[in-house]
Amino acid sequence: MEDKTTIVEISMDPTELFETVQSWATETKFAVYEKNEKRTIYSKNIIATTAWLLIENQGESAKLNAWLAPKGLKPDAKGSTWSGRKIAIPNGFTTGPASIYKKQFNKLMEMLKSKSKNIVIQENKNQQKLEKDTFVKGLVAIGIIQLIVGVLGIISASAFISSYPDLGNVSLKNGIFSMVLGTLTFICSRLLKNGKALAIWLYGATILINVAYDIAMGHKFPYFSILFGTFITWKLLTFKKEWELS
Tell me the residue range of the domain where 34 lies: 6-123
On whether both 86 and 164 belong to a single domain, the answer is no
185, exposed or middle or buried, with CB in 10 Å at 0-12, 13-18, 19+? buried
- Mean pLDDT, to the nearest integer, of 116-136? 67
- Asked if the structure places residue 225 within a domain, the reply is yes
Q: Is residue 27 part of a domain?
A: yes
End position of a domain, from candidates 123, 140, 167: 123
Give the whole-number percent of the chain exceeding pLDDT 90: 43
Contact between 119 and 109 (Cβ < 8 Å): yes
Q: Could you give the CA distance from residue 75 to residue 88 in angstroms, rounded to a whole number?
A: 13
Residue ranges of E strands in the chain: 6-11, 31-35, 39-46, 49-58, 61-70, 119-122
Instruction: Name the band, by pLDDT with cuts 50, 70 and 90, for residue 129.
Output: low
Min mean pLDDT across 22-26, 141-145, 236-240 is at: 236-240
Query: Looking at the domain assignment, is residue 215 inside a domain?
Result: yes
Q: d(Cα 66, Cα 105) in Å, to the nearest integer?
A: 8
149 pLDDT higher than 70:
yes
What digits encode the pLDDT tens for the residues 151-190? 998 988 887 777 777 778 888 899 999 999 999 999 999 9
User: Domain check: are 92 and 28 in the same one?
Assistant: yes
Q: Which of 91, 123, 155 is the last residue of a domain?
A: 123
Give the dihedral of Cα atoms 111, 114, 117, 121; nearest 10 deg.
20
Residue 229, CA distances (Å) to 16, 41, 205, 245 in order:
49, 40, 10, 19
Check whether residue 53 and residue 147 sit in a common domain. Answer: no
Amino acid at 2: E
- Mean pLDDT value of segment 87-113: 90
Q: Look at residue 23 and tell me whether its pLDDT is greater than 90.
A: yes
1 contacts 114 by C-beta, under 8 angstroms? no
Q: pLDDT (tens digit, 9 = 90+) per residue, 189-228?
A: 999 988 888 999 999 999 999 999 988 888 888 888 888 8
The closest alpha carbon to 204, from 234, 243, 244, belongs to 234
> Is residue 159 assigned to a domain?
yes
Domains of the chain: total: 2
CATH (domain of 75): 3.30.160
User: How high is the mean pLDDT of the chain?
Assistant: 87
Does 224 share its domain with 146? Answer: yes
Q: For residues 117 and 151, state if they share a domain.
A: no
Residue 65 one-letter amino acid: N
